[in-house]
Amino acid sequence: RINGERLWDSLMELAKIGATPKGGVCRLTLTDLDKQGRDLVTRWAREAGMSVTIDKIGNGFMRRPGRNNSLPPIMTGSHIDTQPTGGKFDGNYGVLAGIEVVRTLNDHSIETEAPIEVAFWTNEEGSRFVPVMMGSGVFAKAFTLEHAYAATDTEGKTVKDELERIGYIGDQEPGDHPIGAYFETHIEQGPVLEDNQKTIGVVSGVLGIRWYNCTVTGMEAHAGPTPMALRKDALQVAAHLMQEVVACAHRHPPHGRGTVGMVHVHPNSRNVIPGQVKFSIDLRNATDAECESMDQDIRAVATKLSTKTGLPIEIEMVSNYPAQVFHPDCVDAVGRAAAKLGYSHMPVVSGAGHDAVYMARLASAGMVFIPCKDGISHNEIESAEPEHITAGCNVLLHAMLERAGT
């Protein structure tokens, strides 16, 4: 069993770097604070006897050798960058749980057959630079190193320059070493475990995610003198379609999700009928076939609505992350570990994207979820119970040991 207090203390120590007044953490990727976080985590790894290598996109690999170092490592990890109004646990927990696994093995002088590696992936959050899950994406060759290097923040600074500036541009080629299996512990970021009063979520896979920009074009006009019958009100048509995004999710149970999170109204003036409305659509489902069906559903609704109202509607897909089913080897290892340790557990899907999605393209992969308070994350009030933090790490330990061999 892992040392829950030590893991909790490490989480609180790391959370001091970029701590916000409301109890959260703001540690954007490739900032000075991110460098301080990386320095602390790699110092802890070295103190635990691990070697540290950094690849060209700044991913860190902290390695504990096995008895047979020609075997590919059993890997765990996550990210330590946060949202602007992030919490203490998202990502950070997955990295520090990995270090705690190694500290526990050291405490009990347990050798593993395969080596163990703990990774921290660069820029999972995507709030400073897009695409999200950048480091693991480059590692899995989902896009090129050059593409990632060229990404700029709002000030025009590039990923490459910022990596160099904070001294975390390594010389290892991303993706150059094989992986035996990959596990990631993470807070659920949703309310399902809490709602079901379970300690451990055995993650069977991650929903496919499609992001769209939608534009409805009408005609700007004065709210007073323009009779109702002569209006081309872009917001009214957009409001209808926004509701259809949710209806579309309900038409694709049980895993369909539909969200409009971002809206821009032009000219956004109290007494002007909106001439143009742009909004985002986020569609998710458990299989690519279901994602595709939702895509066709919402496009058909939009076409009908456009014909009926005479207002042009444009729907442009801007991102497509395919659904990922995790390998039964890893999923079952997580389930067995939870059962053996006596934790209440249930199968869940991950609604959010994670670095594990990219790792699943390279090796068998699985995830361990623990509840977070009210299902809230990406928020300074994000919170998790110490006993759940401990439980998730114990499950990780046993699942990794099963795969690494002792």
Ligand X SMILES: NC(=O)NCCC(=O)O
By the criterion CB under 8 A, which residues form the site for a second copy? 188-192, 195, 207, 209, 211, 220-228, 230, 233, 235-236, 239-240, 242-243, 246, 249-250, 256-263, 265, 268-274, 280, 282, 284, 350-353, 375-379
CA distance 41 to 124: 17
Q: In whole angstroms, how close is the CB of 353 to a second copy at the nearest point?
A: 7
Tokens of 148: 């990632």
Q: Are 146 and 137 in contact (CB under 8 A)?
A: no
Q: In whole angstroms, how close is the CB of 200 to a second copy at the nearest point?
A: 15
Q: Are 274 and 218 in contact (CB under 8 A)?
A: yes
Q: Which is nearer to ligand X, 154 or 271 (CB)?
A: 271
Q: Is 310 in the site for ligand X (CB under 6 A)?
A: no
Q: Are 99 and 56 in contact (CB under 8 A)?
A: no
Subset of residues 124 to 143 that bind ligand X, contact rule: CB under 6 A = 132
Subset of residues 238 to 297 that bind ligand X, contact rule: CB under 6 A = 271
For residue 12, count other CB atoms closer than 10 A to its CB.
11
Q: Is 352 in the site for ligand X (CB under 6 A)?
A: yes
DSSP state of 219: B
Q: Which is nearer to a second copy, 27 or 160 (CB)?
A: 27
Q: In whole angstroms, how close is the CB of 359 to a second copy at the nearest point?
A: 18
How do the residues of the chain divide into helix, strand and coil, expressed in percent and rounded to 5?
Answer: 35, 25, 40
For β-strands 51-54 and 60-64, DSSP reports them as antiparallel
Binding mask 209-228 for ligand X (x = CB under 6 A): x--------------x----
Q: Are 83 and 90 in contact (CB under 8 A)?
A: yes
Q: Is 109 in the site for ligand X (CB under 6 A)?
A: no
Strand partners, 182: 75, 365
Which amino acid appears at position 400 of this protein? Answer: M
Q: Is 353 in the site for ligand X (CB under 6 A)?
A: yes
For β-strands 221-222 and 324-325, DSSP reports them as unpaired
Q: Which is nearer to a second copy, 111 or 195 (CB)?
A: 195
Report the partner that residue 376 touches, choosing among ligand X, a second copy, none (CB closer than 5 to 8 A by kind): a second copy
Q: Which is nearer to a second copy, 150 or 262 (CB)?
A: 262
Give contact residues for ligand X (rule: CB under 6 A). 132, 209, 224, 271, 352-354
